[in-house]
């Protein structure tokens, strides 16, 4: 085994000399090891030679329209040769068909000509996301490694999330459909919103729809509208979400739960840009960007026949995979900071903070519920911790390293009755999102009494 190079190896394949030169220069300056060739056949020979030498390429960047061997034929040959190498396509003619075909051949992403050096670098970074060889000493080791980055409502420090942000920036500018996957609580909805916020459609509607929340018959009319008399109870003609969102963005959450009956109808909109209201015969043109998300394994659903393959490919033009929190522990500290920052004011404990041991416990925990669970754990700890300094014990993380399982200890041991009351009221108010009537009901007191207690504890604004 020869040792791995310290930077990723890239092979650029394009029949235009200018593109080869431009990409080569930009990417070499970024610290990659770059070779460039003018046709597919030569590139295939080079790839297999590199493999034989034990120094395989990590990424192939290929033009789509090339002669004599065209890009799609080339990448399918690349696949046959090397299962591990990543592939990125450059195209001057972005059609959905090429995108879908390229994806089937295993291309991970696209760059549309003309592009800027920044776009090229972002796309390469994204294509190489998760690349594991050591990068030390190379120009790639970003000086900004420790910096916290924000994108829309998302906060991150990990390399994988930063690569994801770069991907999102490029996706946002495009029009094509986006499919966001990832475990529950990883931030898929925030990702969808961030894409919209950075898209040319940011001034138009963002309409979230939960596909698992509605019954089939209603869902269809909800999405596509209906004509008067289309079904019992349809007394009025009604526009669907696709019409409301015309010019805007529709977020189809839990797309994996969309019924087989509705799938072809959605496919039709994506293909033709046209909807058919329930009870109608004529199509209505709509211009809607669709962003879909699911925590399910859609590929497995396709295999099992529960999700149409053609719809899958239509949705999957851009694929965003949000990694689970345990795979990006670098994000835990900035996330905890951001959540505590918001909480301090809301719960009226300006001094509340994590002890180093509590932070270590958070970083060592497995987070089956991902970022959402982290936020909830902090909310509970910040509200209930007897001291402003949150200890590992205050986190009540079961089975976490560094945090003993709850011993059944009573957490209010050293508190006065007033402290407990104050904290309990705050806790309940938070759970009720500040709704005083609801909180009073849970606390078993009337609203006047609650109001008096709030003013006594200085919590009028809580
Ligand atoms: N990177 C992040 N930065 C800040 N907050 C985040 C981040 N990721 C997730 N969150 C917060 O975590 C919570 C869960 O996120 P979100 O609702 O987007 O998850 P989801 O993937 O859609 O989950 P589900 O599959 O259960 O619907 C939200 O309160 C969101 O604001
Ligand atoms: Mg969600």
Tens digit of each residue's pLDDT (9 = 90 or more) over 142-179 = 434 578 899 999 999 999 999 999 999 989 988 889 99
User: Which DSSP string do the residues of 290-301 spell out, in sequence order?
Assistant: EEEEESS-HHHH
3-state secondary structure of 349: coil
For residues 272-300, average pLDDT = 92
Residue pointed to by tokens 């990590």: 58
Average pLDDT of 318-338?
95
Q: Indicate if the pLDDT at residue 335 is higher than 50.
A: yes
CB of 190 within 6 A of ligand 1: the answer is yes
Segment among 78-87, 133-142, 359-368, 452-461 with least mean pLDDT = 133-142
Closest to 59 (Cα-Cα) out of 122, 119, 127? 127
Whole-Å CA distances, 354 to 155, 180, 390:
18, 32, 5
Residues 390, 354: Cα–Cα separation, whole Å? 5
Instruction: Determine the Cα–Cα distance for residues 88 and 83; give it in Å rounded to an integer.
Output: 14
Distance CA 321, CA 462 (A): 37
In angstroms, the Cα distances linking 458 to 95, 235, 319, 390, 452 are 61, 53, 49, 22, 10
Residue 140 confidence (pLDDT): 44
- Which atom of ligand 1 is closest in space to residue 180's alpha carbon? 21
Q: Where are the beta strands (DSSP E) in 184-308?
A: 206-210, 249-253, 274-275, 284-285, 289-294
What's the CA gap between 228 and 430, in Å, rounded?
44
Q: Do domains 159-323 and 327-456 have the same CATH topology?
A: no
Tallying the residues shown for the chain, one arrives at 462
Q: Does 376 contact ligand 1 (Cβ within 6 A)?
A: no
* CB-ligand 1 contact for 152 (6 Å cutoff): no
Name the residue of 160, 162, 185 whose CB sits within 8 Å of the most ligand 1 atoms, as the mutation to test its pocket: 185
Class of domain 159-323: alpha beta
**459 within ligand 1 shell (Cβ under 6 A):** no
| Residue spans per domain, the chain | 9-135, 159-323, 327-456
Of ligand 1's atoms, which has the minimum distance to the CA of residue 156? 1
Contacts made by residues 431-440, CB under 8 angstroms, sequence distance 24+: 434/462
| CATH code matching the domain that covers 9-135, chosen among 3.10.130.10, 3.40.50.2300, 3.30.56.10, 1.50.10.10 | 3.40.50.2300
The first and second tokens of residue 302, run together, are 């396709």
Q: Which of 162, 186, 210, 373 should be mutated for ligand 1, with most atoms under 8 A from CB? A: 186
In contact, 325 and 370? CB cutoff 8 Å:
yes
Average confidence score pLDDT of the chain: 85
Q: pTM of whole model > 0.75? A: no
Does the structural domain 327-456 have CATH classification 1.10.8.60? yes
What are the backbone dihedrals phi and psi of residue 281, each rounded to the nearest 5 degrees, phi first? -115, -30
Give the ligand at the shortest distance from the Cα of 369. 1
Gap from CA of 318 to ligand 2 centroid (Å): 18
- In the DSSP assignment, the letter for residue 23 is H
Atom of ligand 1 nearest to the CA of 187: 18
Whole-number Å distance, alpha carbon 435 to ligand 1 midpoint, is 23
Task: Please name which ligand lies nearest the alpha carbon of 189.
Answer: 1
Place of tokens 């003018």: 38
pLDDT digits (tens, 9 = 90+) for 123-142: 888 888 766 543 434 434 44
Question: How remote is the CA of residue 422 from the centroid of ligand 1, in Å?
Answer: 29
**pLDDT tops 90 at residue 191:** yes
Does the CB atom of residue 429 touch ligand 1 within 6 A?
A: no
What tokens appear for 378 in the block? 């902090």
**pLDDT of 12 higher than 70:** yes
Q: Ligand 1 centre from 338 Cα, in Å? A: 13
The pair of structure tokens assigned to 170 is 């490029």
């Amino acid at each position: 085994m020869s040792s791995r190079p310290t930077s990723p190896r890239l092979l650029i394949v394009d029949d235009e000399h200018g593109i080869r030169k431009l990409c080569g220069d930009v990417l070499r300056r970024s610290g990659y090891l770059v070779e460039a060739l003018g046709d597919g056949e030569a590139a295939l020979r080079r790839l297999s030679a590199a493999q034989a030498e034990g120094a395989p390429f990590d990424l192939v960047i290929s033009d789509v329209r090339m002669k004599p061997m065209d890009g799609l034929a080339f990448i399918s040959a690349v696949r046959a040769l090397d299962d591990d190498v990543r592939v990125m396509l450059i195209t001057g003619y972005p059609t959905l068909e090429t995108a879908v075909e390229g994806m089937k051949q295993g291309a991970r992403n696209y760059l549309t000509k003309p592009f800027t050096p920044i776009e090229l670098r972002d796309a390469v970074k994204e294509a190489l996301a998760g690349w594991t060889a050591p990068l030390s000493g190379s120009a790639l080791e970003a000086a900004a490694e420790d910096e916290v980055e924000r994108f829309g409502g998302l906060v991150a420090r990990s390399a994988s999330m930063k690569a994801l942000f770069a991907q999102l920036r490029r996706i946002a500018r495009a029009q094509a459909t986006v499919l966001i996957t990832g475990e529950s609580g990883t931030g898929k909805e925030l990702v969808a919103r961030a894409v919209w916020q950075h898209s040319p459609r940011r001034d138009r509607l963002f309409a979230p729809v939960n596909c698992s929340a509605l019954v089939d018959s209603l869902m269809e009319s909800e999405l596509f509208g209906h004509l008067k008399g289309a079904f019992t109870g349809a007394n009025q003609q009604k526009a669907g979400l696709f019409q409301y969102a015309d010019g805007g963005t529709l977020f189809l959450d839990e797309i994996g739960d969309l019924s087989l009956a509705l799938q072809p109808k959605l496919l039709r909109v994506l293909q033709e840009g046209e909807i058919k209201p329930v009870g109608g015969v004529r199509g209505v043109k709509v211009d809607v960007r669709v962003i879909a998300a699911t925590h399910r394994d859609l590929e497995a659903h396709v295999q099992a026949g529960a999700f149409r393959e053609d719809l899958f490919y239509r949705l999957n033009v851009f694929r965003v995979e949000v990694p689970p929190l345990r795979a990006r522990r670098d994000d835990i500290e900035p996330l905890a900071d951001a959540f505590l920052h918001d909480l301090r004011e809301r719960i009226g404990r300006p001094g509340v903070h994590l002890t180093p041991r509590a932070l270590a416990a958070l970083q060592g925990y497995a987070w089956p519920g991902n970022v959402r669970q982290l936020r909830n754990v902090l909310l509970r700890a910040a509200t209930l911790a007897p001291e402003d300094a949150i200890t590992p014990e205050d986190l009540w993380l079961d089975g976490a390293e560094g945090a003993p399982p709850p011993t059944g200890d009573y957490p209010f041991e050293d508190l006065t009755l007033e402290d407990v009351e104050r904290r309990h009221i705050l806790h309940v108010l938070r759970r009720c999102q500040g709704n005083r009537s609801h909180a009073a009901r849970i606390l078993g007191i009337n609203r006047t009494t609650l109001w008096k207690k709030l003013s006594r504890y200085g919590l009028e604004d809580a």
